[in-house]
Chains A and B, each alone.
Chain A
Amino acid sequence: TPHSCKTVPGPGMGDFSYVGIDAILEQMRRKAMKQGFELNIMVVGQSGLGKSTLMNTLFKSKVSRKSVQATSQEKIPKTIHIKSVSHDIEEKGVRMKLTVIDTPGFGDQINNENCWQPIMKFINAQYEQYLQEEININRKKRIPDSRVHCCIYFIPPTGHCLRPLDVEFMRRLSKVVNIVPVIAKADTLTLEERDFFKQKIREELRANGIDVYPQKEFDEDAEDRMINDKIREMIPFAVVGSDQEYQVNGRRLLGRKTKWGTIEVENIAHCEFAYLRDLLIRTHMENIKDITSSIHYEVYRVRRLNENNTAVAHANGLPQHHMTSHEM
């Protein structure tokens, strides 16, 4: 039976008419602190674009190991590897399990056809793992979440336009994961070059129907849209990463020291790292996870369940269920 919903005059404020319903916020906060959070970020881009450095800068610790060390004998891999490393970090009592998924070898071959495939496969495998646990009869209290919440795509700072590889990758992956494109090593672009490049990129994304995060169709209300529109006018963020501190005007700051000056990473006059950090961590982290679980994962689940219905239906000779087809 449908419930009838009535609005009653509220309990009102004042000492003796205070019910205490709003105490639930504190209760939720307590629960969140106790449980901790999980965040899984994937970084995709050619080697040498500063992916590891950016991760380390974002999280102010060595959460990502550079694929090619100065002293090691490692070479750039001949195929794409997916390397997943987890760290437990804590800040003011808030515990987080951060997993950085690196993709060494992406875009480094001579022939880069289908280089998105292993990445796509990995992302889908995480959805699959979650689905498997979710449909168990005996399930865990908290299903471990290894789904990729956000994929940071590194665009080389050519200054002209997106390469076919960039377009192809983002076009395919934006359908299954939140893509946050960034202009890597942006300290090689002047401000004018940067603005021109950004505009070109935005045009090309639009022309190819690529929806990067924050996607317009998932704006929840007018307030959301307003905030996200501002972000959409600024992406892709032009970033510079660094794990070295330098003395600038009496303060120790993260930066890159060159002969012509020191680039301060967290100075928004120099680069847009701070905007990226604020978006990913300080304001939209929960939203990124939400979109992953309530949209991308659900899309995967629908496809998977329909797929199997056909298979089982064929096997049992039962009438097929209505299917929607999704392209890989």
Chain B
Amino acid sequence: MAATEIARQAGEGARAVPLAGHVGFDSMPDQLVNKSVNHGFCFNILCVGETGLGKSTLMDTLFNTKFEGEPTQHNQPGVQLKSNTYELQESNVRLKLTVVNTVGFGDQINKEDSYKSIVEFIDTQFEAYLQEELKIKRTLHSYHDTRIHACLYFIAPTGHSLKSLDLVTMKKLDSKVNIIPIIAKSDAISKSELTKFKIKITSELVSNGVQIYQFPTDDETVAEINSTMNGHLPFAVVGSTEEVKIGNKMVKARQYPWGTVQVENENHCDFVKLREMLIRVNMEDLREQTHTRHYELYRRCKLEEMGFKDTDPDCKPFSLQETYEAKRNEFMGDLQKKEEEMRQMFVQRVKEKEAELKEAEKELHEKFDRLKKLHQDEKKKLEDKKKSLDDELNGFKQKKTAAELLQSQAQQAGGSTTLKRDKERKNIRLQ
């Protein structure tokens, strides 16, 4: 075997030596790849965009499969994040793909806090990894990495400029995740408008200091294609899972009365470019940047926040674990205390309200009783009156009966009495 060349650069304190024959460590990349294949890969994409921009459809198109069974419900207030994990396989590569969608982004009247739940979600994944990394007994080897590797930001195809919501959100996310901006449903824009739109978007991003993900140009194998693609950002995409016959092939397309937009036709949209960059060329770099840049930044900030410093070598490593635990316990303690306080306050309020209600109830009862009594009194009065009326009536009846009796007696005794009386009466009158 021919002797191989001397290494290009010497490492720290290492001399370069030529090899006199084939050793065999050129198989190392293969060994590494085999290990990774056995272990499987993990890739997590976050799709941020307003409702109706075709986020789910684009994911289906990118990965050539139907992900979700039913469309998402958009009936919750605020921005929710829905995460789903899928196992995909292509030849011998097993990929655990997690797709996270924002639900309700941009639907609110007041969008000031829209970005918060997204940032919180991303931070939660970092935190979970950090927790695992800081554990004493850890299993990083089999840990399911949920950190977001790529954030596809869907820009509405208005043709004018970015919305302030877009700028604010991207600015909040650019130090936490690799952002790849894309123009969604770009078949709504004409080619000339698209060029102007892209330029406007790019200049707005630059003037607002938004750092989007740049495809890496340091590896000469892919430097050229990556740098070309960087110039095409943001990608204008169209998604579709429906197939249309063009010529003698079935292609993914959207059919209109005036023509058919072919998803994989580079003259029609940038879908192919997106797939190329996101999956076929830079998936590994996206994962690496997430781990070595975004995660490290999160970790550094979090640890500094908790008061750790690199400058004190004596208490450094272990205090890290120990004090982190202690601080966490303290924090949890505070949290518990606050919880307890809140609970107490709640209980107190409940008691007060309960007392109020009881009071009101009591009043009502009293009122009811009063009314009842009133009613009873009235009733009694009426009854009394009725009784007295009845008595009177009875009395009257008795008198009437007595009078009638007398009358009939008098009549029987001879009408003389009556006559006599009548005569007497006449006499009296005559006198």
Using CB atoms and an 8 Å cutoff, list the residues of chain A in contact with chain B.
1, 3-13, 16-25, 27-34, 37, 39, 58-63, 86-97, 99, 131-132, 135-139, 141, 144, 220, 277-278, 281-287, 290, 294, 298, 301-302, 304-309, 311-313, 316, 318, 321
Interface centre among B146, B285, B310, B321 (most CB of A within 10 A): B321
Write out the residue numbers on chain B whose beta carbons fall within 8 Å of the beta carbon of A17.
Answer: 64
Determine the distance from Cα of A301 to Cα of B139 in the docked complex, in whole angstroms. Answer: 12
Chain A's closest residue to B264 (CB) is: A16
- Tell me if B91 and A22 are in contact (CB < 8 A): yes
* CB atoms of B25 and A28 under 8 A apart: no
A92 close to B282 (CB less than 8 A): no
Does B137 contact A6, Cβ atoms closer than 8 Å?
Answer: no
Q: In the complex the two chains form, what is the Cα distance from A311 to B322 in whole Å? A: 10
B65's contact among A10, A25, A301, A305, by CB below 8 Å, is which?
Answer: A10
Report Cα–Cα, A321/B15, bound state, in Å: 46
B17-A88 in contact (CB<8A): yes
Cβ-defined contact, B83 with A97, below 8 A: no
Contact of A94 with B318 at beta-carbon distance under 8 Å, contacts A3-B98, A4-B85 already known: no
**Which residue on chain A has the smallest CB distance to residue B323?**
A312
Q: How far is the CA of A287 from the CA of B28 in the complex (A)?
A: 10
Bound complex: CA of A97 vs CA of B66, how far in Å? 46
Q: Is B303 an interface residue (CB 8 A)?
A: yes
Q: Which residues of A contact B31 (CB under 8 A)?
A: 283-287
B20 contact from A1, A61, A136, Cβ within 8 A:
A61
User: Whole-angstrom distance from the CB of A227 to the nearest CB of chain B?
Assistant: 12
Tell me the smallest distance from the CB of A224 to a CB of chain B, in Å.
9
B303 contacts which of A10, A20, A137, A220 (Cβ < 8 Å)? A137
What chain B residues lie within 8 Å of A60 (beta carbons)? 19-23
Let me know if B292 is at the binding interface, CB within 8 A: yes
B86 at the interface (CB under 8 A from A): yes
Q: Which of B33-41, B331-339, B419-427 participates in binding chain A? A: B33-41
- Chain B residue numbers with a CB within 8 Å of A19 are 62-64, 88, 90, 275, 279
The number of inter-chain residue pairs (CB within 8 angstroms) is 254
Say yes or no: A63 contacts B304, CB within 8 Å: no
Check if A312 sits within 8 Å of B96, measured CB to CB. Answer: no
Which residues of B are at the interface with A, using a C-beta cutoff of 8 A? Answer: 4-38, 41, 62-67, 83-93, 95-96, 98, 136-138, 140-141, 144, 146, 219, 221-222, 249-252, 264, 275-276, 279-285, 288, 292, 296, 299-300, 303-304, 308-310, 316-323, 325-326
Q: How far is the CB of A228 from chain B (nearest CB, A)?
A: 14
Contact B28 A8, beta carbon cutoff 8 Å: no
By the criterion CB–CB under 8 Å, are A302 and B25 in contact?
no
The interface residues of chain A lying within 8 Å CB-to-CB of B24 are 91, 277-278, 281-282
* Contact of A25 with B37 in the complex, beta carbons under 8 Å: yes
Write out the residue numbers on chain B whose beta carbons fall within 8 Å of the beta carbon of A92.
4, 26
CA distance A219 to B318 in the complex (A): 32
A-side contacts of B325, CB under 8 Å: 321
Given contacts A20-B280, A29-B29, A131-B317, contact A91 B41 (CB under 8 A): no
Give CA–CA (A10, B276) in the complex, Å: 19
Q: What are 8 A-B contacts with C-beta separation under 8 Å?
A: A6-B86, A21-B90, A22-B91, A24-B283, A31-B285, A89-B23, A136-B316, A286-B31
**Chain A min CB distance to B263 (Å):** 10
A51 and B280 alpha carbons, distance in the complex (Å): 46
Closest 5 pairs between A and B when the two form their complex, measured CB to CB? A308-B318, A286-B31, A27-B284, A86-B14, A20-B280
Give the distance to chain A from B147, nearest Cβ to Cβ, in Å.
13
Q: What residues of chain B lie closer than 8 Å to A286, measured between beta carbons?
A: 28, 31-32, 34-35
CB pair B95 A28 closer than 8 Å: no
Q: Are B88 and A8 within 8 A (Cβ)?
A: yes
Interchain CB contact under 8 A, A10 and B89:
yes
Chain A residues, CB < 8 A from B219: 30, 34
If A6-B86, A30-B221, A91-B26 touch, does A309 touch B93 (CB 8 Å cutoff)? no
In contact, A96 and B98 (Cβ under 8 angstroms)? no
Q: Are B4 and A91 in contact (CB under 8 A)?
A: yes
User: Closest residue to A306 on the B side, CB-wise?
Assistant: B136
Q: Are B23 and A281 in contact (CB under 8 A)?
A: yes
Cα-based distance from A305 to B321 in the complex (angstroms): 7
Task: Take A1-B83, A22-B90, A286-B32 as given contacts and tell me if A91 and B23 are in contact as well, using a CB distance cutoff of 8 Å.
Answer: yes
Q: State A213–B90 Cα separation when bound (angstroms).
A: 34
Whether B318 lies near A309 (C-beta < 8 A) is yes
With A and B bound together, what is the CA distance between A225 and B144 in angstroms?
25
CB distance from B194 to the nearest CB of A (A): 25
Considering the complex, give the chain B residue whose CB is closest to the CB of A5: B85
Residues of B within 8 A of A132 (CB): 316-317
Q: A5-B86, A137-B304, A137-B309 are in contact. List 15 more A-B contacts (CB 8 A).
A: A9-B65, A16-B249, A20-B90, A20-B275, A20-B276, A24-B284, A25-B33, A31-B284, A88-B10, A88-B16, A91-B23, A136-B316, A281-B27, A298-B138, A302-B136
> How distant is the Cα of A301 from the Cα of B280 in the complex, in angstroms?
37
**Distance to closest chain A CB from B426 (angstroms):** 121
